[in-house]
Amino acid sequence: SKAASAVSQDEDSSSASSIISRFRQYLQINTAQPKPNYHEAADFLISQANSLSLESQVLEFVQGKPLVLLKWPGKKPALPSILLNSHTDVVPSEHHKWAHPPFDAHLDSATGNIYARGSQDMKCVGMQYLEAIRKLKASPSFRQPLRTVYLSFVPDEEIGGHPGAEMFAHSEVFQKMNVGVVLDEGLASPDDFYRVFYAERSPMWLVIKATGPPGHGAKLYDNSAMENLLKSIESIRRFRAAQFDLVKSGSRAEGEVISVNMAFLKAGTPSPTGFVMNLQPSEAQAGFDIRVPPAADHLSLEIRIAEEWAPSSRNMTFELGQFKQKASVYDKFGKPMLTAHDGSNPWWGLLEEAIKNANGKVGKPEIFPASTDARYFREQGLPAIGFSPMANTPILLHDHNEFLNKDEYLKGIDAYESIIKAFASFDERTSDDESKAEL
Ligand SMILES: CSCC[C@H](NC=O)C(=O)O
Ligand SMILES: [Zn+2]
Ligand SMILES: [Zn+2]
């Protein structure tokens, strides 16, 4: 059959060097926001799918934003399926600040490091899924899964995921896939324990604005816009330091505190040489990226914002932007969006065991500090696990000189081979499946 010939012991396509070269090819496609080259990425992914005899379709919930959906049919298609998700877009880079251009996917011959935007976040994962499937298809002891395995390559995660994972998770296509568990991205870890995530913090983007009377730059007076704003900034910084201290002292994990970081400051009157210096501005604003853990008291944070950070008594107003607790606290059944990571969720145990079988070590389950598309799947009530197999790797997502070592990348493929095999062979109905069947 076509399937058999495509995956016949093809020495060439299964060699480490061809695996690395396919990874670099995907990295070389410039899918940086705000103008990602999605069609080139989609064409590449479909050519990979064809070489693996996977079924493929392109969904375009929004014109120009293709989502590539691949399918490896299982022998028992009635069992809930496995979804392997990854996003195709990457964040922008300041090219001149990189040692190697971010879309060259330069392979350093001395260290084996591959430098590219997306090497950690998260083109590695998308390609590793495919490479793991290539290995499973070539392995005489496996060949075909019991459960159907889907791969989704989604657009626009880095800008909120609406035309990608969000619309996908709400679609009829998705419903028909009868997904039972989702894998999505995690983070690199500098030590040799892989990190695994069962939930994430919810994003809150806050802009505070101060107003006050303008005046001569030489005059000392109360209640200027700058003074009003600075008082808030001081208060926010104290809160930030207290939260950060909890992490520094080791009493809380990164994902268990509220983070607050200033994203912009805007004030002053521009002049041809910079800014007018002897005029105190009548308006000033600052923007903050805030991340709130699922267990935090959201109401008291909102009260703190209204009363301490932007009090109307100090002529201040505030706006909570686009991402204010959006789809991030409760799922559609009203349950907190936390994927069970105990005996009640068989997928969790299967994942840990599969990683160990591939000679990997697994860390303590964590809350993802930022946002991922996993929240849209958890919102549907599905278990979703965040995992990117990168141990002994500095955390460089969204940073300059993002890289992944080629040997670490290859080890990650072994981890996925083991996980996909375990998930796709899992023949029992989970308690979730049973409750679905009862409905
Ligand atoms: C909140 S939508 C933006 C999503 C983005 N995800 C990864 O970095 C993040 O800032 O967490
Ligand atoms: Zn990502
Ligand atoms: Zn990212």
Q: Give ipTM to 2 decimals.
A: 0.98
158 is in an annotated binding site: yes
Q: Are residues 234 and 103 in the same domain?
A: no
Q: Are residues 136 and 219 in the same domain?
A: no
To the nearest 10 degrees (0 to 180), the angle between helices 123-138 and 406-425 is: 60
The count of structural domains within the chain is 2
Q: Are residues 308 and 333 in the same domain?
A: no
Average pLDDT, the chain: 94
Q: Are residues 305 and 338 in the same domain?
A: no
433 is in an annotated binding site: no
Q: Are residues 34 and 153 in the same domain?
A: yes
**Structure-model confidence comparison of residues 406 and 299, the more confident one:** 406
The pLDDT score that the predictor gives to residue 9 is 47
How far, rounded to the nearest angstrom, does the alpha carbon of residue 219 sit from its chain's CA centroid?
A: 49
Is the pLDDT assigned to residue 155 strictly greater than 70?
yes
Q: Are residues 282 and 248 in the same domain?
A: yes
Boundaries of domain holding 263? 202-320
Q: Which of 320, 352, 368 is the last residue of a domain?
A: 320
The pLDDT score that the predictor gives to residue 1 is 43
The pLDDT score that the predictor gives to residue 77 is 96
131 catalytic residue (yes or no)? no
- Is residue 23 within 8 A of residue 412, CB to CB? The reply is no
Q: Which of 294, 320, 346 is the last residue of a domain?
A: 320
CATH number at residue 303: 3.30.70.360
Among 125, 158, 205, 260, the mutation site with the greatest number of ligand 1 atoms within 8 A of its Cβ is 158
121 is in an annotated binding site: yes
Separation of CA 278 and ligand 3 centre (Å): 41
162 is in an annotated binding site: no
| Site of tokens 């950060």 | 244
Q: How many residues does the chain have?
A: 439
User: How many angstroms separate the first and last alpha carbons of the chain?
Assistant: 40
402 catalytic residue (yes or no)? no
Specify the ligand 1 atom closest to the Cα of 371: 11
The pLDDT score that the predictor gives to residue 233 is 98
Specify the ligand 1 atom closest to the Cα of 397: 8
Separation of CA 120 and ligand 1 centre (Å): 15
Whether ligand 1 lies within 6 angstroms of the CB of 323 is answered as yes
**Per-residue pLDDT band at 4 (split at 50, 70, 90):** very low
Is the pLDDT assigned to residue 439 strictly greater than 50?
no
Listing DSSP states for 383-426 in one string gives -EEE-----S----TTSTT-EEEHHHHHHHHHHHHHHHHHHHH-
The pLDDT score that the predictor gives to residue 330 is 87
* Ligand index nearest the alpha carbon of residue 159: 1
Q: Hey, CA dihedral for 130, 73, 66, 331, is it positive or negative?
A: negative
Q: Are residues 111 and 259 in the same domain?
A: no
**Structure-model confidence comparison of residues 325 and 91, the more confident one:** 91
The pLDDT score that the predictor gives to residue 48 is 98
Q: Are residues 363 and 400 in the same domain?
A: yes
Q: Are residues 49 and 18 in the same domain?
A: yes
Q: Which of 286, 320, 354 is the last residue of a domain?
A: 320
Q: Are residues 120 and 190 in the same domain?
A: yes
Among 91, 326, 371, the mutation site with the greatest number of ligand 1 atoms within 8 A of its Cβ is 371
Burial 341-364 (b: 16+ CB within 10 A, else e): beeebbbbebbbebbeebebebee
CA-nearest residue for atom 11, ligand 1, is 371
Q: Are residues 56 and 123 in the same domain?
A: yes
Is the pLDDT assigned to residue 405 strictly greater than 90?
yes
Separation of CA 42 and ligand 2 centre (Å): 17
Whether ligand 1 lies within 6 angstroms of the CB of 386 is answered as no
- Structure tokens that stand for 143 in this block: 């060949």
Whether ligand 1 lies within 6 angstroms of the CB of 215 is answered as no
Separation of CA 396 and ligand 1 centre (Å): 15
Q: Are residues 259 and 394 in the same domain?
A: no
Listing DSSP states for 296-360 in one string gives S-HHHHHHHIIIIIS-GGGTEEEEE-S-SSTT-SB-TTS-BS----STT-HHHHHHHHHHHHTT-
- Is residue 99 within 8 A of residue 109, CB to CB? The reply is no
Give the percent of the chain with pLDDT over 70. Answer: 93
Whether ligand 1 lies within 6 angstroms of the CB of 158 is answered as yes
Kindly report, residue by residue over 201-250, the tens digit of the pLDDT: 999 999 999 999 999 999 999 999 999 999 999 999 999 999 999 999 99
Kindly report, residue by residue over 43-72, the tens digit of the pLDDT: 999 999 999 999 999 999 999 999 999 999
CATH number at residue 381: 3.40.630.10
When pLDDT is averaged across residues 285-312 and rounded to a whole number, the result is: 95
Specify the ligand 1 atom closest to the Cα of 160: 2
When pLDDT is averaged across residues 331-353 and rounded to a whole number, the result is: 95
Kindly report, residue by residue over 159-187, the tens digit of the pLDDT: 999 999 999 999 999 999 999 999 999 99
For ion ligand 2, residues whose CB falls within 5 Å: 121-122, 185
Q: Hey, CA dihedral for 410, 413, 418, 419, is it positive or negative?
A: positive
Is the pLDDT assigned to residue 308 strictly greater than 70?
yes
Whether ligand 1 lies within 6 angstroms of the CB of 370 is answered as yes
Q: Which residues pair with 266 in a beta bridge?
A: 285
Kindly report, residue by residue over 82-131, the tens digit of the pLDDT: 999 999 999 999 999 999 999 999 999 999 999 999 999 999 999 999 99
170 is in an annotated binding site: no
Residue 305 backbone dihedrals phi, psi, to 5 degrees:
-60, -50
- Of 156, 157, 200, 379, the catalytic one is 157
Half-sphere CA count of 1, side-chain side, radius 13 A = 5
Give the percent of the chain with pLDDT over 90. Answer: 90
